[in-house]
Amino acid sequence: MLFERKDRCVIPRWRDFKTTLALGELRNSQDAEPPSSEDQEAIARRVEEFRVDQDIWHAADLLSSAFVVGDLKSADLARDFILSNREVAPKALVAFASGDSGLPADFLSLGEDAQARLIHKIRARLRSEPRNAILWVEIARLYTLQGDSRRALRSMTTAAGLTPDSRFVVRAAARLFLHEHDAPTALKVIRRASGAKRDPWLLAAEIATASAAHSPTLFAKIGSNRNDDESVSPFARTELSSALGTLEMENGRMRKARQLFRKSLEEPNENSVAQVEWANRTVGGLEIDRELLAIPKTFEANANVNLRAGEWNHAIAEGEEWLRDQPFSRQPALFTSYVAALIEDYGKSIKILKESLHANPDDPELINNLAFALGSANRLDEADSVLKRIDISNCEGLSAITLAATAGLLMFRVGRPDRGREFYQLAITRASSQGISKYRAMAILYLAREELIASTAAAETAVNRALVEASKIEDDKEVALIAEQVRNLEAAKKSRIPVEQVSASPSSRKATSS
Amino acid sequence: MTLSSGWVVTEEIPRLPGATGGQFSCGYKVQKDGNTAFLKALDYTKAQEISLNTGIDTLTALQGLINAYQFERNLLQDCKQKRMDRVVVALEDGSVRVDEGLFGEVNYLIFESADGDVRKHLSLFQNLDVIWILKCLHHVATGLYQLHSAKVAHQDLKPSNVLVFSSNVSKVADLGCASIQGTISPRDDCEFAGDRTYAPPELLYRSVDPDWRRRRQAADVYHLGSMVTFLFCGTSMTAMILANMPPDHLYPVWGGSYSEVMAEIRDAFGLAVERFSQSVPGEQLRRVLREAVSQLCDPEPSRRGHPSNRAGSTNPYSLERYVSLFNLLAQRAAVGILERK
């Protein structure tokens, strides 16, 4: 199984419009402009006209005018009159005066339906509002969830063409193009926005997207100046500080990186908290206060914190929330399925991975993890056909390690321990050569587990070796958990308890018996 | 007092306490041969008030008042000469000496007397009179079309500037904020020449297009659409758009540009159009007016107006098609072939 992230960038999150708005990430505020003397004169005139002609239409005129310039007192004067005389007022005016949208609830509720119905509703609105970029972004998101990348890209391209300067549209477009492995287009969309060199949210997106694509950023210098600009609120620059910190970290300037990450935590959003949580594993010295883990939607950071603490069920719960928040993203699916598989809840792991593969159909890491979970649950035919979807020649790094280990697992389960051992050995060698001792230990532990389940002659030696390897990895709850599972399995073997009844966690019994 | 042309000043129309804007703050009823008319007199003393409120010197303020009077008088004469029958034009202009001294001579304009504006007229009915509304829209569209044909943008169309006459004819009134293409008009320096409470969204968000048509005629086109929404649902389009905007994105607190807020404006506009269309009686009328309002009030000035105009070499803001449309709808409604329930 795989979930570790070697690289993490503060790529913009892509949520529905209302949620993004509620999180304050679309704000671009300035001090409120007071009504001008001309506005005040216009309202005063309308108030007097209304006093002379106290009827619905003078009240309506006053209400519209006062509402536009934000003169609440005058608006209330008109509003009270309209609501007291509602029987002679147009229905739409009464609705406006009472603060009601005047539209049927079904027309407005874009967030509560099943995807297919939601797509149908948005398409219906787009027929009469073809230039509504927000609707195009919403439908692109739904198509992405359905794995229909052609329609998703087409919709997003339309949105970005209609409002190339909108922060919401540009950030969502960058996220989608990156999801579709098209970083050049993602960068193009960001860089052509009129606010790209000024808006801290777009500067952050440019730097992070360039980082993720391993291409040079064009706006690091401008971003750095903007990050030092005290007129920008700490919340508006949180992702910018974080993106710049990541850049410094990539360039090996850890002290500067730490300073920038600390700055990003002055008033963070969940993305920058997650970034600091991740970066801290490399740069160290960055403490995340518990209160930061309570800010809205901090699922990723909380999931990781719980995983490190060995709080498996909490980690899964946070992982599931993270997945609900970013349903098209592969990372929450990899994370949650990994933790579920760690505690041997293969059923949950399989379900999460299968759903995520709709939005990420050819993702080798998701496929590998699914094959592992299926194999561990003894669903071997399915596991075999899933694994065949991976193009092995393209796998490198961590994927190459886990892929070899998964192949080893399947070989053991189909009764070919010799081949299984070879694959596990390959995984161990690859982990050693990459210097990843944790993955090496995990491969050795899983090899021991398979030797035990297959009751081979090499089982005892493999277990002893595995437990020694595991003991070398200090303070890693995941390795410790697998080691415990191996120990339990060995004890059960000795006591002749059926393998299916042995587990380090209660949830695994259900999963393995299904 | 009797003017040299025979008009007798009969009554002063009290100045409303809030009515401090505009250069003509004195209004009178005048009569001649049994006809009643309305006289607007230029109040020179207003220069001092302007000077106090704005900080400019009295002489400059006075010069501004005189320029504004001359501009409106000349424009009204031009409109009269061009026989603009859906624009309230001056019956007469002139001056009369009322006192000794430098400011003793008062310049005035006399207009035909209306029954009231659309607000007053609409209050006479218990329910929406669709035929009357459509006729009114036809007349207003015609008035703006006549002005546009003379390269004039009205810039201040709102319910109080649509006057209704006893013959059931509606006319566009008050050219004080108008602009003439190719000439310098008194209000050209203002960010928005007309009443900001009815301004199109781009002007509220301080997006000022240097192109005369896109800035000024496009505003008229928007105002016509906003008049449609006011007549059917009692709310201006600007108020409906703003009601659907996220509070952080309202123009008084928005720190970005208009193009940066366009996605939110478009979304709010879509909801506003839907809200408007639901207040229009009858499926057929609803469909046609929804389309017309969507075109007339498009938040992007460059996309405002009839799409066929943009395809050709004609003025993209030509209102000719809407004049025909409202006329057709009014006639259909009058003969009962337009569903009105």
Which ipTM did the prediction report?
A: 0.92
Mutation for B interface: A65, A72, A82, most B CBs within 10 A: A65
Binding-face residues of B in 245-274 toward A, CB within 8 A: 246, 248-257, 259-264, 266-267, 270-271, 273-274
What is the SS3 assignment for B17?
coil
Three-state secondary structure call for residue B105: strand
Q: What three-state secondary structure class fits A146? A: coil
What B64-71 contacts at long range (C-beta under 8 Å, 24+ apart), as own/partner pairs, is: B64/B23, B64/B186, B65/B23, B66/B42, B67/B186, B68/B23, B68/B176, B68/B186, B69/B23, B69/B24, B69/B42, B69/B107, B71/B185, B71/B186
CA distance A353 to A349: 6
CA dihedral B240, B244, B246, B247 (to 10 degrees): 40
Alpha-carbon distances of B289 from B118, B231, B274, B278, B326, rounded to whole Å: 19, 12, 11, 11, 9
> Where in chain B does DSSP place strands (E)?
8-13, 26-32, 35-41, 90-97, 105-112, 116-117, 152-153, 162-164, 170-172, 179-180
Does any CB of chain B come closer than 8 Å to the CB of residue A16? no
Rounded to 5 degrees, what angle do the CA atoms B20, B26, B31 make? 150
Say if residue B24's pLDDT is above 50. yes
Q: State both tokens at A503.
A: 């587990």
Q: Taking the CA atoms of chain A, what radius of gyration do you get in angstroms?
A: 28
pLDDT at position B61 over 90: no
- Determine whether the interchain pair A28/B255 forms a contact, defined as Cβ–Cβ distance below 8 Å: yes
Rounded-to-10 torsion of CA A160, A162, A166, A168: -60
Bridge partners of residue B40, in order along the sequence: B27, B109
Contact A61 B196 (CB under 8 A): no
CB within 8 Å: B234 and A41 = no
Residues of B in contact with A87 (CB under 8 A): none
Contact status of A122 with chain B (Cβ, < 8 Å): no
Q: Minimal Cα distance from B231: which residue of A?
A: A57
Q: In whole angstroms, give the CA distance from residue B129 to residue B131.
A: 6
Question: Whole-angstrom Cα distance, residue A481 to residue A318?
Answer: 19
* Closest by CA position to A454, among listed A406, A405, A407, A421: A421
Position A447 scores a pLDDT of 95
Q: Are the C-beta atoms of residues A337 and A368 closer than 8 Å to each other?
A: no
Burial class (CB in 10 A: 0-12, 13-18, 19+), A101: middle
Amino acid present at A396: E
Q: Please, what is the angle between helix A398-413 and helix A364-376, to 10°? A: 30
User: What pLDDT sits at residue A251?
Assistant: 92
Its pTM stands at: 0.89
A465 neighbors A496 (Cβ within 8 angstroms): no
**Residue pairs between chains A and B whose CB atoms are closer than 8 Å:** 218
Q: What's residue A123's pLDDT?
A: 95
Average pLDDT of span B279-285? 93
How far is it, in rounded angstroms, from Cα B187 to Cα B167?
A: 33
How many Å apart are CA B338 and CA B237, to the nearest integer?
A: 25
**How far is residue A84's CA from residue A9's CA, in Å, rounded to a whole number?**
57
CB distance A169–B263 less than 8 Å?
yes
Q: What is the pLDDT of residue A511?
A: 36
Q: Which residues of chain A have pLDDT under 70?
A: 1-5, 101-113, 392-395, 497-514
**Predicted local confidence at residue B50, as pLDDT:** 77
Q: How far is CA A8 from CA A1, A110, A140, A213, A250, in A?
A: 19, 31, 24, 11, 11
- The DSSP code for A33 is P
Distance CA A55, CA B60 (A): 40
Which residues in chain B touch residue A165, judged by CB atoms under 8 angstroms apart? 257, 259-260, 262
Q: How far apart are CA A109 and CA A121, in angstroms?
A: 9
What single string gives the DSSP state of each residue in A353-370? HHHHHHHSTT-HHHHHHH
Cα distance between residue B328 and residue A374, in whole Å: 70
CB A405 within 8 A of CB A423: yes
Taking a C-beta distance cutoff of 8 angstroms, is the pair B173, B159 a contact? no
Q: Do A103 and B290 touch (CB under 8 A)?
A: no
Q: Which residues pair with A273 in a beta bridge?
A: none
Interface of B with A in 129-188 (CB under 8 A): 158-160
Strand order in the sheet with B170-172: B116-117, B162-164, B170-172
Q: Are A102 and A68 contacting, i.e. CB atoms less than 8 angstroms apart?
A: no
Is residue B136 within 8 Å of residue B231, measured between CB atoms? yes
Distance of CA B290 to the CA centre of its chain: 21
Q: Tell whether the model's pLDDT for residue B100 goes beyond 90.
A: no
Within an 8 Å CB–CB cutoff, is residue A83 touching chain B? Answer: no
Q: Is B191 on the interface with A (CB under 8 A)?
A: no
